[in-house]
Chains A and B, each alone.
Chain A
């Protein structure tokens, strides 16, 4: 998993969805969801814009293990 959004912290401001350069994050109701995690470029734009610290990164096992 790349960008991970904590739904408990997300206030639904939509900025991460709006600014993801690769169309990976989509709003589902009032919460932002990383809908295409395998297409995340790990650029960090979503985290830079999130005022709620709701975005963290989990690097895939393959990335960390090879």
Chain B
């Protein structure tokens, strides 16, 4: 027996993943009077997607114009995220919660206004009007962390959650371990909100470093995998998301560039987006990526972000905003030799990742109007859910999830038991890589997964490429029992690698079942290149049944004509 410490913790509502969405869930559950425990593999002050800041908040504000209303917004979601966004859920988790989310942001000390006191809004990504509030969200994450502490939520930082457990088909609790000390946690909760973001490091990145990514490399689908194994249904998993990033550095900036009126040009200096979408550089993201990929493929690359026509004041605002979203991006651009004036910044298409096909939906745990999954007691929010994505949904929908989880927890009289045998098995499984003297490292294992995913569906796919991917990914199962870790950091990475591997199988399987293309190139089936609304306008739901069989079904979605 080792001298490892084992902790048993009980709570009403547990939040797994204290990122943007999770902290809002925690605030709601605390407000409802529940005991709340937040568990994060990093430290909630700077963990997750907005660790270094954020700068755009999508909102309709009802200022008068017809585009600035709830109805116009939902119409926009239905047009742009057709087949992936469930409008009924959006109406409840975003629209009903938006006013409160905006007020909460300001109340915790993050102003949505410019220094002159005005709200500054820009338009991009197919929006019918300027829905993007530009704001300085550099300190949003630390301020939210302060707020959950003020609301007396308990916090377990640096605990990576490893598995979820049910009792008689309902949530019982979950396990995790401290990534520095190795302490093991068995946590019982009446309800959980899963808010662990999307899955990164699944595909090759532009200069070969799997951590030089647009999205947070700590989000590795750990709970997509754990929830799936516990029987939780997932949806929108077939989509791989990409964007347009500066060459050399996969950093965000898309909203800032296009919101300020920058244009993509090819190496003939021609703006090309008008050839791919009527809104040209203001088109939804997937069309921009599709256009860029075609230009690169057809030999008109490299591509550039042309900022030369922007006025000095606009350029100033642009560079400032770029640094809010990605702290180190402005200095990277300067180090690369791009002066603010006359800037023609070379861009490229980013790495793919498992995530939502549009800003207006999610990819992950299938949720209903109450943010509930199919398993009683398990709720989801933010990028980890199939309907929420981006800041606006994480803030508004995160809170909704916390509210509903709290309401559920209040109806449960007793915590359900965690099976002793399962706990011992999990503890042994979690630490086994540390005991192996030889074996495969997480770097090697993950790299194999990345090569398979990139070659077979990153992003173009066919029936043959997907069945081939699944065969290779299944064959890699034997290596799962050979992963070794020499220290705690490597142990965390080993588990991340194992989870990325399983998520890649789920994604490939869902993509195989969708025999059409949608959100090109995010689900681009070269063997079914057209969108087939008659048969596939809806969510591909994928689920593991109690006998271990993986099944899929299509939940059709309806939109106004």
Task: Tell me which residues across on chain B come within 8 A of A60, comparing CB atoms.
Answer: 207, 209
Interface centre among B46, B47, B53 (most CB of A within 10 A): B46
Question: Count of A residues near B, CB < 8 Å?
Answer: 28
* Bound CA–CA A49/B141 (angstroms): 13
Contact B331 A48 (CB under 8 A): no
Contact A41 B211 (CB under 8 A): yes
* Given A48-B327, A62-B207, residue A21 in contact with residue B46 (CB < 8 A): yes
Contact B247 A66 (CB under 8 A): yes
Q: B47, B206, B212, B328: which contacts A44 (Cβ < 8 A)?
A: B328
Task: Tell me which residues across on chain B come within 8 A of A64, comparing CB atoms.
Answer: 248, 332, 335-336
- B45 on the interface (CB 8 Å rule)? yes
> A42: nearest residue on chain B (CB-CB)?
B328
Task: Tell me which residues across on chain A come within 8 A of B216, comparing CB atoms.
Answer: 21-22, 41, 43
* Bound CA–CA A39/B492 (angstroms): 13
Task: Tell me which residues across on chain A come within 8 A of B213, comparing CB atoms.
Answer: 41
* Given A39-B217, A40-B211, A59-B249, residue A45 in contact with residue B46 (CB < 8 A): yes
Contact A36 B489 (CB under 8 A): yes
Q: B43, B218, B326: which contacts A42 (Cβ < 8 A)?
A: B326
Task: Tell me which residues across on chain A come within 8 A of B331, comparing CB atoms.
Answer: 57
Task: Tell me which residues across on chain A come within 8 A of B45, comparing CB atoms.
Answer: 18-19
- B51 on the interface (CB 8 Å rule)? yes
- A6 on the interface (CB 8 Å rule)? no
* Given A18-B43, A57-B331, residue A63 in contact with residue B52 (CB < 8 A): no
* Bound CA–CA A56/B60 (angstroms): 39
Contact A19 B46 (CB under 8 A): yes
User: Which residues 197-231 of B sit at the A interface, judged by CB distance below 8 A?
Assistant: 206-209, 211-213, 216-218
- A20 on the interface (CB 8 Å rule)? yes
Task: Tell me which residues across on chain A come within 8 A of B43, comparing CB atoms.
Answer: 18-19, 21
> A39: nearest residue on chain B (CB-CB)?
B211
- B191 on the interface (CB 8 Å rule)? no
Contact A48 B52 (CB under 8 A): yes
- B48 on the interface (CB 8 Å rule)? yes
* Given A23-B489, A43-B327, A64-B248, residue A38 in contact with residue B48 (CB < 8 A): no
* Bound CA–CA A63/B42 (angstroms): 26
Contact B489 A59 (CB under 8 A): no
Q: Interface digits, B25-47 against A, CB 8 Å rule (1 contact, 0 not)? A: 00000000000000000110111
User: Which residues 319-340 of B sit at the A interface, judged by CB distance below 8 A?
Assistant: 326-328, 331-332, 335-336
Task: Tell me which residues across on chain A come within 8 A of B46, comparing CB atoms.
Answer: 19-21, 43, 45, 48-49
> B337: nearest residue on chain A (CB-CB)?
A64
Task: Tell me which residues across on chain A come within 8 A of B211, comparing CB atoms.
Answer: 22, 38-41
Task: Tell me which residues across on chain B come within 8 A of A26, comparing CB atoms.
Answer: 489
- B380 on the interface (CB 8 Å rule)? no
* Bound CA–CA A40/B217 (angstroms): 9
Q: Interface digits, A29-43 against B, CB 8 Å rule (1 contact, 0 not)? A: 000000110111111
> A66: nearest residue on chain B (CB-CB)?
B248
* Chain B min CB distance to A51 (Å): 14
* Bound CA–CA A21/B327 (angstroms): 14
* Bound CA–CA A47/B48 (angstroms): 16
- B371 on the interface (CB 8 Å rule)? no
> A63: nearest residue on chain B (CB-CB)?
B248
Task: Tell me which residues across on chain A come within 8 A of B263, comparing CB atoms.
Answer: none
Contact B138 A48 (CB under 8 A): yes
* Given A21-B46, A36-B489, A39-B217, residue A63 in contact with residue B212 (CB < 8 A): yes
Contact A23 B335 (CB under 8 A): no
Show 17 A/B contacts (Cβ-Cβ < 8 Å), sorted by A.
Answer: A21-B42, A21-B43, A22-B218, A36-B489, A38-B209, A39-B211, A39-B217, A41-B212, A42-B327, A43-B52, A44-B53, A48-B46, A60-B209, A62-B207, A62-B209, A63-B207, A63-B212
Given A38-B209, A59-B335, 6 more A-B residue pairs with CB atoms under 8 Å apart are: A18-B45, A22-B211, A41-B51, A41-B213, A45-B51, A62-B208
User: Which chain B residues have a beta carbon within 8 Å of chain A's beta carbons?
Assistant: 42-43, 45-48, 51-53, 138, 179, 206-209, 211-213, 216-218, 247-249, 251, 326-328, 331-332, 335-336, 489, 492
